[in-house]
Amino acid sequence: MLLQRIFASVLLLVCLSLVAMALPYQAPFSYEPIGPRAFPLLMLGLMGLALVYMVYRPSPIKHTDEDPPMDRETLTKIAVCVLLLLVFAGLFEPLGFILSSMLVGIPLARLYGGRWLPGAVIISLMSVGLYLLFDKVMDVPLPLGLLDVLEN
Amino acid sequence: MDTLGYLSHGFGVALTPYNLVTALSGTLIGTVVGLLPGLGPINGVALLIPIAFALGLPPESALILLAAVYLGCEYGGRISSILLNIPGEASTVMTTLDGYPMARQGLAGVALSLSAWSSFIGAFIATCGMVVFAPMLAKWAIAFGPAEYFVLMVFAIVCLGGMAGDRPLKTFIAALIGLFLSTVGIDANSGVYRFTGDNIHLTDGIQFVVLVLGLFSISEILLLLEKTHRGQEAFQATGRMLFNFKEAASVFWVNMRCGVLGFIMGVLPGAGATLASAVAYMTEKRIAGPGGKFGQGDKRGLAAPETAIGAEACGALVPMLTLGVPGSGTTAVMIGALSLYNITPGPLLFQQQPDIVWGLIASLFIANIMLVILNIPMIRIFTKILAVPNWALVPMIAIITAIGVYAVHATTFDLFLMIGIGIFGYILRKLDFPLSPVLLGFILGGLMEQNLRRALSISNGSLDILWSSGITVGVWGLIVVMLLVPIVRIWRKRSVAQRAIADV
């Protein structure tokens, strides 16, 4: 309940700042009665109303059996996972697809309960395989990065 | 009579070897994607959009591919429900109720093939319904002006809340988030940059694929962290694989009833497969009465939700094709795909591009037949896929998702944006918000704003145009009904609860 109140309040603040951001949006000259800010303001206004109601009266979350309560361990894991994904996004172009997906994929496999060696073998094969499949067969261009030398 | 001519033309399009191979690979990919935990039809279709585009598929083939993947995913979802008792997605929860007991009784093969058959009949009924009703609806929809469209989209959004049952407020907020996100980027009418924060990558708006994959794939990866199960032992499908004639005949009327029901639920915006399967199961349970062994492996209990899901998947394409208004998350994704090809679904699509519409309808027939034929001999292979452990699966989902996002614009900004959206989606999910309304809102947002502005330009700013025609007044009436439904439901629940307290 508390979490929902906090979430709704934060979202409400975001809403308000977006409204402030939208207020100066005005077309220099316009051929239509409705400018560019009416629709976003309408949406933000409705969302704000709904969020105020939610802060006032949050609805209980139904817990299912397979949904374990959050503990410190899970939260750490989630933080690590997010971090790995961010590293992946950051290194995607500089290192190239194959190296970055190996670098991130292997610890990711470990995080989800795999062992180092099989994880490393499978992820490496998968990275090379997916690169060949997408870049060579399906024409989706992927960066080679450091491995650029191999190409020529 | 016209319809039949168009339909045979459609079969001409769908039966070209190229499109047949497309449909076949689509059904295979779809089944595997639907099987894997964490990937559902929405991810499956969204991942294939940039790939279909990169492959240079012509629009009708791309649409056939996506529709085949969509149907395949719905098929794949049932395999884990029956063999593992783990529903792949919310809509197959009902399938586990009687499917898993059947597998425990040694009838796993029969359960799988019977559910494939039921789903086929459902999809067949719905496709027939589509052939009959879609052109009629399209003809009627030509009379729609911008005001009518705007009101119709309001109806689609409100329907989501009305049908969602226990959490209308959260559904509503989720849809509004999507509607808002659609306004990010340069405004096409005035050239004003909205909510971009001077970021050059956002001038184009948030890419649709980025939003979908962030919301669904990334948040699912994070959710999978909590459940560190390592590839369950599936029930081996041994013994008789195929159902016999008697078994098929015993569920025939169930198939018929649930097929029609599923189609209607599919056409209605916002109802969705989850509701369709639940209503079908409950109805059949009531019809069977105390004689049925529902919950202990009754074949009717398996056939009812499967038929309804199959029919719903096809029925949901009707509003998407005829009105251009998607009713579910998956069809919203398909609209996004079409817009990549500069095709705007709507009533005019039937006149301007009959190849696409009728080719798609015909390929639905073909994909359904393919799925039944494929499913029976390949069940053993599919059960092997279920044994893939999470530690191999999750990195693969992450990597393929990144490829899909990168393929759209080839910028790493999109990758970061996707991760950000994914974290937001994960929080929303943990707080029990539904995610597909966000998607639907995002797709409808742009259309809604355009139509509202066009309508008000026509009327020179007067709001009267929004309720001036018979159609708009009728739809407003429906909107009011839909808004009242959840309020009445909550009120009734509350009064029942109070009575229970008073009784104690």
pLDDT digits (tens, 9 = 90+) for B346-377: 777 877 888 788 888 888 888 888 888 887 77
Which residues does residue B186 pair with via DSSP β-bridges, in sequence order?
Answer: B193
Give dist(CA B468, CA B458) in Å, integer: 13
pLDDT given at position B268:
79
Mean pLDDT of B153-170: 77
pLDDT at B229 over 80: no
Closest CA to B119 of B71, B82, B81, B66: B71
pLDDT tens digits, A16-37? 999 888 888 877 766 777 778 8
pLDDT tens digits, A112-141? 888 888 889 989 999 999 888 888 887 778
**Residue boundaries of the structural domains of chain A:** 2-56, 72-151
Alpha carbon of B392: minimum distance to chain A alpha carbons (Å): 6
pLDDT at B154 over 70: yes
Give dist(CA B404, CA A134) in Å, integer: 10
Residue by residue, what is the 3-state secondary structure of B66-106?
HHHHHHHHHHHHHHHHHHHCCCCCHHHHHHHHHHHHHHHHH
| Percentage of chain A modeled with pLDDT above 70 | 89
Which amino acid, residue A126?
M
B-chain residues within 8 Å CB-CB of A18?
180, 195
Give dist(CA A63, CA B430) in Å, integer: 10
pLDDT at B496 over 60: yes
* Least confident residue range of A10-14, B34-38, B484-488: B34-38
Mean pLDDT of B116-138: 86
B91 neighbors B119 (Cβ within 8 angstroms): no
Q: For residue A54, what is the nearest residue in chain B, using CA coordinates?
A: B169
Chain B contact present for A32, CB below 8 A: yes
Mean pLDDT of B80-94: 76
Alpha carbon of B453 to those of B186, B187, B211, B475: distances in Å?
Answer: 16, 12, 25, 19
Note the pTM of the prediction, 2 decimals: 0.84
Give dist(CA B368, CA B365) in Å, integer: 5
pLDDT given at position B38:
67
Q: What size, in residues, is chain A? A: 152
B119 neighbors B78 (Cβ within 8 angstroms): yes
Alpha carbon of B321 to those of A148, B52, B414: distances in Å?
Answer: 45, 20, 29
Give dist(CA A93, CA A100) in Å, integer: 8
Query: pLDDT class for A13, splitting at 50, 70, 90?
Result: very high
What is the residue-averaged pLDDT of chain B? Answer: 82
Give dist(CA B112, CA B62) in Å, integer: 29
Interface test with A, best of B80, B183, B460 (most A CBs within 10 A): B183
Interface test with B, best of A2, A59, A65, A87 (most B CBs within 10 A): A59
Instruction: Please give the tally of structural domains in chain B.
Output: 1
Residues 6+ apart with CB under 8 A from B114: B243, B247, B248, B251, B299, B302, B303
DSSP string, B418-435: HHHHHHHHHHHHHTT--S
Query: pLDDT class for B159, splitting at 50, 70, 90?
Result: confident
Mean pLDDT of A57-71: 63
Chain A contact present for B198, CB below 8 A: no
B253 neighbors B307 (Cβ within 8 angstroms): no
Alpha carbon of B5: minimum distance to chain A alpha carbons (Å): 36
The answer for B165, left when phi > 0, alpha when psi is -120 to 50, beta otherwise, is left
Chain A contact present for B225, CB below 8 A: yes
Mean pLDDT of B126-153: 84
Q: Is A79 helix (H, G, I), strand (E, B) or coil?
A: helix
Task: Check CB contact under 8 Å for A59 and B169.
Answer: yes
Residue B227 exposure: Cα atoms within 13 Å on the Cβ side:
17
Q: What size, in residues, is chain B? A: 504
Task: Check CB contact under 8 Å for B432 and A122.
Answer: no
Alpha carbon of A96: minimum distance to chain B alpha carbons (Å): 12
pLDDT given at position A69:
60
Closest CA to B320 of B304, B333, B301: B333
Chain B contact present for A49, CB below 8 A: no
Query: pLDDT class for B423, splitting at 50, 70, 90?
Result: very high
Burial string for B385-402 (b: 16+ CB within 10 Å, else e) reads bbeebbbbbbbbbbbbbb
Nearest-CB residue to A114 (from B389, B406, B422): B389
Alpha carbon of A32: minimum distance to chain B alpha carbons (Å): 5
How far does CA A29 lie from the centroid of its chain?
Answer: 38
Give dist(CA B448, CA B187) in Å, integer: 14
pLDDT at B88 over 70: no
Rounded to 10 deg, the angle between the B17-35 and B59-84 helix axes is 30
B-chain residues within 8 Å CB-CB of A59?
166-167, 169-170, 432
Mean pLDDT of B329-344: 80
pLDDT tens digits, B272-293? 777 888 888 888 888 877 777 7
pLDDT at B11 over 50: yes
Which amino acid, residue B298?
D
DSSP string, B222-254: HHHTT-----PPPPP--S--S--HHHHHHTHHH
Q: Which of residues 249-288 of B touch A (CB under 8 A)?
A: none
Alpha carbon of B265: minimum distance to chain A alpha carbons (Å): 26
pLDDT given at position B85:
76
pLDDT given at position B231:
47
A-chain residues within 8 Å CB-CB of B431?
3-4, 7, 61
pLDDT given at position A68:
56
Closest CA to B224 of B393, B46, B438: B393
* Least confident residue range of B91-95, B270-274, B296-300: B270-274
Which residues does residue B193 pair with via DSSP β-bridges, in sequence order?
Answer: B186
Task: Check CB contact under 8 Å for B173 and A47.
Answer: yes
Which range marks the domain in which residue B265 is found?
A: 2-503
Alpha carbon of A152: minimum distance to chain B alpha carbons (Å): 22
CB pairs under 8 A between A and B: 188
pLDDT given at position A27:
73
Closest CA to B350 of B362, B342, B361, B358: B358
Task: Check CB contact under 8 Å for A47 and B190.
Answer: no
Query: pLDDT class for B115, splitting at 50, 70, 90?
Result: confident
pLDDT given at position A82:
92
What is the residue-averaged pLDDT of chain A? Answer: 83
Q: Is B185 helix (H, G, I), strand (E, B) or coil?
A: strand
A109 neighbors A123 (Cβ within 8 angstroms): yes
Alpha carbon of A61: minimum distance to chain B alpha carbons (Å): 6
Give dist(CA B166, CA B438) in Å, integer: 17
Q: Is B341 helix (H, G, I), strand (E, B) or coil?
A: coil
Query: pLDDT class for B479, splitting at 50, 70, 90?
Result: confident
B359 neighbors B64 (Cβ within 8 angstroms): yes
Mean pLDDT of B256-285: 83
pLDDT given at position B152:
86
Which residues does residue B185 pair with via DSSP β-bridges, in sequence order?
Answer: B194
Give dist(CA B195, CA B201) in Å, integer: 12
Closest CA to B452 of B58, B153, B250, B173: B153
Query: pLDDT class for B230, splitting at 50, 70, 90?
Result: very low
pLDDT given at position A87:
92
Which runs of E-coded beta strand occur in A22-68? Answer: none
Residue by residue, what is the 3-state secondary structure of A120-141?
HHHHHHHHHHHHHHHHHHCCCC
Task: Check CB contact under 8 Å for A109 and B391.
Answer: yes
Rounded to 10 deg, the angle between the B299-315 and B252-267 helix axes is 30
Give dist(CA B285, CA B3) in Å, integer: 37
pLDDT at B433 over 60: yes
Residues 6+ apart with CB under 8 A from B59: B338, B341, B343, B353, B356
B359 neighbors B18 (Cβ within 8 angstroms): no
pLDDT given at position A2:
80
Give dist(CA B80, CA B87) in Å, integer: 6
Angle at B465 between CA B462 and CA B467, to 5 degrees: 125
B160 neighbors B177 (Cβ within 8 angstroms): no
